[in-house]
């Protein structure tokens, strides 16, 4: 039987199986490379944009706490506040362009974490967010 040339003279089915196995192995290597890249990318998945002073405070808070306030598998408090304000998606400039605006946003996030409207779906993550934003606020001055 000849299906799309497989099994035809000069292209035995055994050769097809070998080639398919080779492609699967190569695909696995490709998938491994993507997963490694995704792991690095996840640690810096979302980095807001703001003034240099605000970004220095953000980077210091990230370095000192080791907490990513925007992991890929959680809904952050900042995102919830942003959506509640009626805006579409989380803008990369949610901290504004000044230290004062960033402080205001951090204080809102901290207030929400300390006084949730409903119990946190993931209390461990909420605790990590609280630690991060308090440290961020400290570094803002």
User: Residue 75 region, left (φ>0) first, then alpha (ψ -120 to 50), else beta?
Assistant: beta
Say if CB 105 and CB 78 are below 8 A apart.
yes
Domain boundaries, the chain: 1-43, 46-140
**Residues whose CB falls within 8 Å of the CB of residue 40, separated by 6 or more in sequence, listed in order:** none
**Residues whose CB falls within 8 Å of the CB of residue 110, separated by 6 or more in sequence, listed in order:** 130, 133, 134, 137
Per-residue pLDDT of the chain (141 residues), as tens digits, is: 556 555 555 555 565 566 666 665 555 555 555 445 544 444 454 677 888 899 999 999 999 999 988 888 888 888 888 777 766 655 667 788 889 999 999 999 999 999 988 888 889 999 999 999 999 999 998
Say if CB 105 and CB 96 are below 8 A apart.
yes
Instruction: DSSP letter for 86, please.
Output: T
| β-strand partners of 3 | 6
Please tell me the pTM assigned to this model. 0.64
Instruction: DSSP letter for 58, please.
Output: H
pLDDT score of 70: 84
Say if CB 95 and CB 48 are below 8 A apart.
yes
pLDDT score of 99: 92
Count the Cβ atoms, other than its own, within 10 Å of residue 38. Answer: 11
């Amino acid at each position: 039987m000849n299906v799309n040339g497989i099994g035809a003279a000069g292209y035995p089915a055994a050769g097809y199986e070998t080639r398919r196995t080779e492609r699967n192995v190569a695909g696995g290597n490709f998938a491994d490379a993507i997963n490694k890249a995704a792991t690095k990318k996840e640690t810096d998945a979302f980095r807001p944009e703001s003034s240099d002073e605000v970004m220095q405070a953000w980077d210091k808070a990230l370095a000192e706490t080791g907490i990513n306030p925007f992991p890929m598998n959680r809904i952050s408090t900042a995102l919830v506040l942003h959506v509640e304000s009626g805006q579409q998606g989380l803008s990369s400039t949610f901290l504004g362009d000044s230290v004062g605006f960033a402080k205001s946003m951090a204080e809102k996030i901290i207030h929400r974490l300390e006084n949730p409207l409903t119990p946190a779906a993931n209390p461990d993550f909420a605790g990590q967010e609280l630690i991060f934003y308090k440290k961020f606020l400290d570094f803002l001055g």
